[in-house]
Amino acid sequence: MRVSSLVILLALVGGGVYVFMFTDWISKGRRAATGFLPAKTADEAAQRFAKAVKARDLKTAATYCTGEYANLLTNAHQPVSEVGSTLDQIAEYMKNKQWRTDKSVAVVHYFDLMPPQLTPAPAKKIDDKTAEVAFMVENPGFEGPVTPQLFEQFKGHRPALFQRALLPVTIAPTAVSNAGTVKVVKVGEDWKLDVPVPDIQKANVNEYVNNYKSLYNGLDSFRKDMTNESRTIGTKADFESRMATAVSESK
């Protein structure tokens, strides 16, 4: 290899390493500035994880987790950010307009890969390097009982789009106002959630990631329509019907 070619190759490799390190440094700086510092206790790990999930920032949530579950969160960051943020806007809008019904809440509940309503209880110490934290999954707004009939409108959608597929498996995926316990371990000087990932969860989340765009486009189109045409949506039933149509057309 000529000297000039070697110099160019080294420059390219060095430049790539510099860009990677610079980008990583920027990401860490942004997280630190918003309060997402490394967790020095089990409670900090659970609380900052929940805070990142609520912000729809799964890349940051992943920094408070170990191994496969961290990778799962990172891979799902984009769809959760896009679909989740749209669902949040729809939920807030229908709440403000008093158009919320259990069937419309079910849409938000069903298609949310990772619900933002996670609240950790105080950690219980097991030993110097292990603890457990119970997470409460809060009611997303159902007024009546959660029955199978609420979800009949979603027949025909992929099973992988089923509600809360990204939750830690120790939390019941269909739970409302229920708790599940998550293990927290000390890794070096930091604490992280140590969540097992069964094959079915990986498969479901990967299918969602690969096929979420049609769902996102349908929901986002509905979000824009409801904002621009709010005067034509005169009743809760109108709102509920149009949302169900948007979802059914995005299979």
Q: Which of 173, 187, 87, 81 has its CA nearest to residue 135?
A: 173
pLDDT tens digits for range 201-230: 898 888 888 888 988 888 898 888 887 765
Q: Which of 172, 50, 191, 25 is nearest to 121 (CA)?
A: 50
Q: Cβ neighbours of residue 247 under 8 Å, at least 6 residues apart? A: 107, 111, 153, 154, 157, 215, 218, 219
Closest CA to 74 of 62, 86, 65: 62
Determine contact, residues 160/139, Cβ cutoff 8 Å: no
Identify the pLDDT of residue 101. Answer: 87
pLDDT in tens, 28-37: 555 555 669 9
Helix (H) or strand (E) holding 248: helix 236-248
Contact 91, 219 (CB under 8 A): no
Note the pLDDT tens digit of each residue in 58-71: 999 999 999 999 99
Residue 127: both structure tokens together: 């030993």
- Within 77-178, residue ranges assigned H as helices are 77-96, 102-110
Tell me the mean pLDDT in the region 2-24: 53
196-207 residue pLDDT tens? 999 988 988 888
pLDDT tens profile 134-188 = 988 877 788 888 777 777 777 666 544 555 778 887 766 555 556 689 999 999 9
Residue 250's pLDDT is what?
73
